Amino acid sequence: MNPLTELLAGRDRWSGAACAGLWDVFDPRRDDETADDYEARVYRAQTVCGTCPILADCRDFAGNARPRDRTGVWAGIAYDHRGRPVRIPSKESK
């Protein structure tokens, strides 16, 4: 179970999260995943985050989380396995 799944499991505060059930979209980059596939997945996650009614709460939580617990996409921001933000090129720059 990834940290985002653990966070949302059984917590009323996070009910209504747009990412519920889409955990694999929010995971960090897999070793066998191409850069293009990862970027496409991050764009999808960011789109989901953009529709989320609890985005502000998620952003606050991610900002206060320990870096090692903040991997994958949180509140529309991609983080690597060490919890550092990952720069993803915008679709317009491609």
Checking if the pLDDT of 4 tops 80, the result is no
Confidence bin at 5 (pLDDT 50/70/90): low
Q: What digits encode the pLDDT tens for the residues 40-61?
A: 999 999 999 999 999 998 899 8
Rounded to whole angstroms, the Cα distance separating 14 from 17 reads: 6
pTM for this entry: 0.80
Checking if the pLDDT of 37 tops 80, the result is yes
Three-class SS of residue 74? strand
